[in-house]
Amino acid sequence: EGGATRDALNEKPPKDFAVASAAQTSKNTLGRGAVIHTTMGDMTVRLYPDECPKTVENFCTHAGNDYYNGIIFHRVIKNFMLQTGDPLGDGTGGTSIWGREFEDEFHRSLRHDRPFTLSMANAGPATNGSQFFITTVPTPWLDNKHTVFGRVVKGMDVVQMIENTKCGKDDKPFDDISIVNIRVLMEAPSAKE
């Protein structure tokens, strides 16, 4: 009798079971929207956790940890986009919640086909960190290069005000415009709210 016992506490679940459980838990805690409070006003965004769960998890976790609080819009290009999410404020910084760059999550239904698209800034394939941008026009040349993970549904006027701010040669606004904080919403927002 002195052999090892097999009991359920020592039995590891099959890999596919563990992955499915983790994915289900993660999806249940991901936000479906967010309010980005800026020094120029509020923007409400709808997020797409089903299509790009890692990107939305990264964004929502950073928002919940106040990572984005006080970060400036360091790059604003009229008729293109507004970029933020870099704690250094110059486009060279920022990290993901995992402490390393993470892969892109492209989805055929999420394209840069309209203004007010929320997308990850990167330095090439699989180099996502914390920086993101909001387009102000359709930018189809960015498809399959940057992960689209949301859309502005309210506060387009705020996006346009930021877009129209005066900038220097480096596309940095002369007067700092920053994120005050980001509040994650568990329900998908609509433009009517």
> Which position among 75, 110, 128, 132 bears the catalytic label?
75
- Say whether pTM exceeds 0.75: yes
Note the pLDDT of residue 6: 44
114 part of the active site: no
> Which position among 58, 82, 83, 132 bears the catalytic label?
83
Label each residue of the chain as H, E or C.
Answer: CCCCCCCHHHCCCCHHHHHHHHHHHHHHHCCCEEEEEECCEEEEEEECCCCCHHHHHHHHHHHHCCCCCCCECCEEECCCEEEECCCCCCCCCCCCCCCCCECCCCECCECCCCCCEEEECCCCCCCECCCEEEECCCCHHHCCCCCEEEEEEECHHHHHHHHCCCECCCCCECCCCEEEEEEEECCCCCCCC
> Which position among 80, 106, 111, 160 bears the catalytic label?
80
> Which position among 47, 146, 149, 151 bears the catalytic label?
146
83 part of the active site: yes
75 part of the active site: yes
30 part of the active site: no
133 part of the active site: yes
Note the pLDDT of residue 13: 52
> Which position among 30, 47, 82, 142 bears the catalytic label?
142
Tens digit of pLDDT per residue, the chain (193 long)? Answer: 455 444 444 445 555 554 444 444 444 469 999 999 999 999 999 999 999 999 999 999 999 999 999 999 999 999 999 999 999 999 999 999 999 999 999 999 999 999 999 999 999 999 999 999 999 999 999 999 999 999 999 999 999 999 999 999 999 999 999 999 999 999 999 876 4
